Amino acid sequence: MNALKSLLLLCFLVSIGYSQQGMLKGMIRGTGQDGQPVPIEGATVDIYRFDQAQRFTTKTDKKGLYFHSLPAGASTEYAVVISAPQWAPAVSPRFRIIPGEQLEQSFDLLPGDGTRPTFEQVREITAAVPVGASAEEIKKLREQALKEQEEIRRKNEEIRKANAKSSEMKKLFDAGMAANSRKDYEGAVREFKQAALIASELADNTKNQSVIYANLALALYNWGATKFNNKLRDEAKQLFVESAEYADKALQLDPTNNEYRKIYGDACDILARNLGASEYLEKAISAFSSGAEAEVDVAKKAGMLNKLGGLYFSMGDVEKSLVTYDKVLALDPTNVDAMAGKGLVLAASGEKQKMEQAVMLFQQVVETAAPDSKARRDAEENMKYLTETLKIEVGPAKKGTKKGK
């Protein structure tokens, strides 16, 4: 009798235990390549219990199904979290399960990074969701969650694509810099143009874009210079035009960058003075004027002013040319380019006194410039022409004058 009572008691206790359980089940699916839903095998199903900070875990089978019995009660709250490699996680609203109930929680996952949310993250995500919400409310919440997940997935995909483009852009830029260092200007232009194309497609990329445009402009200028030196004027002209265009683009993105302004001015200068493109004359003057005014480095300021002096001379404005060269000599009395430039302006005047000053300036260039430099050779030829051909004589006292004004 006692044995029978024990067996009945055991059966009774088992029955009581089972009656305090509920069953949670569901199906986990994703979208296949054909756009149709497919079951996800091996997805992790984490069931979080909030009143006791517990976690129950199971996996989906080949059909994407999962089952798990749970303690049931009026104060017991749960949330289901689904995670799987290459899929975005899904989190249910909080829910309660009553004894003997079979509650379904099914999910359609979106592609993602396979993240498995932590308990704290789940607690935060589900905090605002009312417990015991109706099926319609849960449906709306789930749809909203899916929209948010899709937006996150979309943004992550955009970031991934942007990072891939950024990486490819840098690779092309580095290849362009390497080609430039080898003086393979054609190769550098090719690489920089591809990098520039990618840079134009990336958001918030102004700085990189301006740097690429500027280096492309410089490579085009150097390529144009090689063509020009080889007497290929038409090809050179087109390359210098492109150089000016890309330097201008760089300046539009970074208007205060004096290096970009110099590249632009140099391209416009050679187009105006050496290739007959007079429409670039004012552009070159504007670039070097504003550049010289903004420049704080004395050597760079002098370089732009010398270019400006040459431009004024080419357009016949002798006074502006002389004033500009004098600005350079005030900054640096031994500036070879300024002395030579001023000497050419004075020599072209046809006035004996000014030509005498030119001879003295050319003499200073010979004394100052490096022995094997072009500046010294040019100065020697100019001085020889003035003294031997035009018979411009300079007395000993004048030869000793260093400023040559």
| pLDDT, tens digit (0-9, with 9 covering 90-100), for 108-147 | 888 888 889 888 888 887 876 666 555 566 567 667 766 7
The long-range contacts involving 231-239, CB below 8 angstroms and separated by at least 24 positions, are 233/275, 236/275, 237/271, 237/275, 237/277
Six token digits for residue 244? 């000016």
**Angle formed at CA 58 by CA 10 and CA 85, multiple of 5 degrees:** 175
Q: Does pLDDT of 98 surpass 50?
A: yes
Rounded (10°) angle between helices 336-347 and 352-368: 160
Q: Are 80 and 45 in contact (CB under 8 A)?
A: yes
State the DSSP code for 111: B
Nearest to 249, CA basis, from 280, 278, 211, 194? 211
More confident call, 160 vs 150: 160
Dist CA 71 CA 99 (whole Å): 8
253-297 pLDDT, tens digit each: 999 999 999 999 999 999 999 999 999 999 999 999 999 999 999
Token readout for 247 is 């330097």
Using a 10 angstrom Cβ sphere, with 0-12 exposed, 13-18 middle and 19 or more buried, the burial of residue 271 is: buried
321 within 8 A of 309, measured Cβ to Cβ: yes
pLDDT category, 322, cuts 50, 70, 90? very high
- How far is 307 from 337, CA to CA, in rounded Å? 9
Whether the per-residue pLDDT at 74 is higher than 80: the answer is no
pTM above 0.75, yes or no: no
d(CA 337, CA 385): 19
Q: What's the rounded mean pLDDT across residues 374-394?
A: 89
8 Å CB contact between 19 and 42: no
Q: Quickly count: other Cβ atoms within 10 Å of residue 157's Cβ.
A: 12
Residue 6: pLDDT band (50, 70, 90) is: very low
What is d(CA 243, CA 218) in angstroms, rounded to the nearest whole number? 7
Query: Which range has the worst mean pLDDT, 265-269, 296-300, 399-403?
Result: 399-403
pLDDT (tens digit per residue) in 155-175: 888 888 888 999 999 999 999
- DSSP labels for 27-81? EEEEE-TTS-EEE-TT-EEEEEETTTTEEEEEE--TTSEEEEEEE--TT--EEEE
For range 372-379, the mean pLDDT: 92
Question: How far is the C-alpha of 257 from the C-alpha of 221, rounded, in Å?
Answer: 18
Q: Which residue has the higher pLDDT, 197 or 146?
A: 197
> Would you say residue 12 has pLDDT above 50?
no
Q: Smallest Cα–Cα separation from 404: which of 351, 366, 358?
A: 358
User: So what's the architecture of 20-156 in CATH?
Assistant: Sandwich (2.60)
376 pLDDT tier (thresholds 50, 70, 90): very high
As given in the structure block, the two tokens for residue 110 are 């979106």
Q: Given the structure tokens 């008691």, which residue do they identify?
A: 9
Residue-level pLDDT at 397 = 40
CA dist 372 → 375, 380, 385 (Å): 9, 12, 20
- pLDDT above 60: residue 360: yes
d(CA 405, CA 398) in angstroms, rounded, equals 10
pLDDT at 395: 58
Contact call for residues 192 and 176 (beta carbons, < 8 A): yes
Please tell me the distance from the alpha carbon of residue 149 to that of residue 210, in angstroms, as a whole number: 36
Mean pLDDT over the full length of the chain: 87
Confidence category of residue 233, pLDDT binned at 50, 70, 90: very high
Angle ∠(280,286,292) on CA atoms, nearest 5: 130
Task: Annotate 206-219 with DSSP letters as a single string.
Answer: HHHHHHHHHHHHHH
Q: What is the pLDDT of residue 72?
A: 86
Q: What local confidence, expressed as pLDDT, does residue 11 receive?
A: 27
List Cα–Cα distances, 277 to 270, 291, 324, in angstroms. Answer: 9, 22, 23
Residue whose tokens read 């504007």: 286
Question: How distant, in Å, are the alpha carbons of 40, 100, 227, 398, 403 from that of 375?
Answer: 78, 101, 23, 22, 18
Rounded to the nearest 5 degrees, what angle is found at the Cα of 286, between the Cα atoms of 283 and 292? 135
How would residue 99 be classed by pLDDT, with cut points 50, 70 and 90?
confident
Rounded Cα distance between 262 and 303, Å, is 10
Q: Residue 401: CB partners within 8 Å, gap ≥ 6?
A: 360
Q: Structural domain boundaries of the chain?
A: 20-156, 171-399
What CATH architecture is 171-399? Answer: Alpha Horseshoe (1.25)
Asked if the domains 20-156 and 171-399 are classified in one and the same CATH topology, the answer is no
In single-letter form, the type of residue at position 68 comes to: H
Is 2 a residue whose pLDDT tops 50? no
Vertex 400 angle, CA 397 and 405, to 5°: 95
